[in-house]
A and B are shown apart, each in its own frame.
Chain A
Amino acid sequence: MKQVAVLGMPNTGKSTFFNRLTGADASIGNWPGITVDLMMAQVKLDSIEAEIVDLPGIYDLRGYSEDEEVVRTFIDKNPLHLVLIILNATQLDRQLSLALQIKRLQVPAILFLNMADEAPKFGVEVDAEKLSERLGMPVVPISAKYGQGYDRAYQTILNLLKEQEEAIQAQPLDQCMRCDSEIAGEMGSLLQDAVTVPRNIKDNLTIRLDRILLHPVFGLPLFFLTMFLMFQLVYAIGTPIQGLMGEITDWLQTAALEPLLAGAPEMLRGFLIDGLYGGLTVVLSFVPIIILFFFAMAIVEDSGYLSRSAFLMDAFMAKLGLDGRSFVMSLMGFGCNVPAIMGTRVMRSPGLRMLTMLVIPFSLCAARLNVFIFMTAALFSATVAPIVLFSLYLFSFVAAILTAAIFQGKYKNSEPLILELPPYRFPTLKQMLLRSWSEVKHFWRWSYKFIIFGVVAIWFLNNFPPGVETASPETFSGIIGQWTQPILDPIGINPQLAIALIFGFIAKEIVIGGLAVIYGQSDGALMGAIAAQIDWVQAYSFMLFTLLYVPCLSTVAVLRSESKSWKFTAFSVIWSLVLAWVASFIFYQGARFLGF
């Protein structure tokens, strides 16, 4: 098995190239000492078997960012047969330094000049032959997106792999003190001889679009409009599909699963249907939203607009230790927190990413909205209900801003915010599909075990010890509900509502269903039963708590899989519980004090 690594600067289409080369059949591999996910694929090029690794995009082999550290560790520990360098042909004037650094590793390499289709539009000309001669490695112009030059790329890789019998250990770079100045010198003369860059770039589409999209007055309104449309696109289509899927899984349950298991003992039936199958349907219900979300994200991100959002929102977000991309993710979190947290992967600074992940769960998602609509309908008049809902949105923003303000020192953005604003590009349909698919796989791989386990655990709490009525005071949930009264009574939450909050830990979608089971009523009758038992102050306190505490098991699952840290996940869960309790306490006791 020959070892091949793909290396390049960010925004050069490196992953597109990798996908083309490996047929999008990549999975996540494990390497010693490396904590970030690296995509890798085993492919057969003609008769040669090779393992190809997609390393994170980096600016400098000697740099200080986490990604640069990862690449260094990887190269240090893994002898390679071949390095494939991907650079943006248009920006060779600065990117060539990375090729010169890799040359010094003395591992066989090929330089691919990607976006060869884009370079002429900028008036950039590259003499590939001369460059190859001077660099001492093959240089192949390609377009990874449209596939031009790909046959030659494939042949070149094949030829070099055939020749290379042994894997080579890279030379350490940090021992070369003079390298930086040497590289600067070589780069200057190489650029002079082989690359033509115009002094003034032509008035192109990107410049014209930026005049509108980054306009001092219209820039922000246009940004909000775009976000609104994107939100609508994802959730206006996604939510009905999610509903449809729910109907299908319900139908499967009543039409097939229940008759099939009719003879089974009740406990086993409950475990299989309400536990295992219930967990599976929760996982499945997120799939359509994730697909649509990353379809939209592929457009916003690959087009270069996401980086522009950082420019537009930076004046405000920088004060919170965040950037415009955090804003986009939090905003999308108002539909569903799960894909929004997955979307933070575009932020490469660990501190910035963690802080954003801490903030997103406070976005009032569609599932919580359903609980609030039900509760406000039950306890408030039609004129007051919209104001109550609006106030909850306000609390959602306040909680997010407060969280960022408090913890921005703890999760410091370690990387300077110097962001490239790449030219506007539109991703191909294939790129969008691929992105969605790989995100669904990513979600599935880790989350399903965790979510199914969680749903089974809650099912257990709601139905055991054996022989008691589901969700009744005699169950473990009921006992926990009683236990927690010393903590929850001061915020106006009675044992029944406490059980509903335990249901809500799985997903807010099932809180109303849980209440129906607890009260033994549904719809209108349920509203009446709740309204008869609690007053509006208790109801509002319950809603505040529901808004702020752990959104759902799936959110916890992705927090864990994205942060790779149980400690961080636990911290996020505990902080949200603390904030929920404190907010509800202040509200409930304040309102009671004022005589309500």
Chain B
Amino acid sequence: MSNKDKEVLLSVKNLEVTFHNEGRRFRAVKNANFDIYKGETFSLVGESGSGKTTIGRAIMRINTLSAGEVIFKGKRISGKISKEDDRDVIRSIQMIFQDPAASLNERATIEYCVSEGLYNFHLYKDEEERIAKVDKALEDVGLLPEHKSRYPHEFSGGQRQRVGIARAMIMEPELIVADEPISALDVSIRAQVLNLMNKLKEEKGLTYLFIAHDLSVVRFISDRIAVIHLGRIVEIAETEELFKHPLHPYTISLLSAVPMPDPQIEKAKKLVVYDESKRDHSGPKPVLQEIRPGHFVFANDREMAEYEAKLQEMEKAEASAK
């Protein structure tokens, strides 16, 4: 499977976001580079403060870039763009938020919540068409037309998140930025929302940028994963490749930290704590390099050689196991 043949929907190039606070500068995202292919789920995984949400918000153009650019369908969408492009991008890139209760207007009916984008962009000929669109969006997410007249507080957490998804879907977007869409939900409801997101991806050919901190969820839903630490993308790989051959020490520590629902494994597990300051930083400045097709790791030449040796050892062990 070569990534070269796939169509790139969104491309992030040398992206940097800097926040200014009382004269101090803080680089929240440092030189991020990645492509998102059409029809895939690309996940950004990291801890709080790692800059994963900031990247999502930079793509949504909520945060301004201090360097680099974002290309969507071959067009630059960061910085100053024409009014038509602006409208087009707002419609084609939609967002789903973490807390469905906070992202819906409590005093508006579900009908209004879902139609809001249509109103703003006049995406309907007449009332009839608008209502038909709302009904369709609600149906897509597994809600019923009669839910239209209700208010957000009348729904459970999972249903509210469905309304949040319907709100995004009604705009017929091509890319959805989903920022921790299931972290606030119960285990059983999580499964429903994940299934729904997968279903919509298949039916509508959607592309997702999925932002999360929980690797176990990410594994189920993603095609490719980027691991981000302190504003820096340290590793990008296809999902199974990343789980099979994690190379960067931070990726390894993140993988070991996720508790698995199996007492035998959990009780035998040894915790790997990652400490940036205790690593060997000798040698030239590291950059994101491709070590295997589609597998990138943030390293300098010395570290590259170490990772290469490790990878070969792992591949050898697998070959002999077969």
Q: Do A and B come from one complex?
A: no
A residues within 8 Å of B by Cβ?
A: none
| Partner-A contacts on B (CB < 8 A) | none
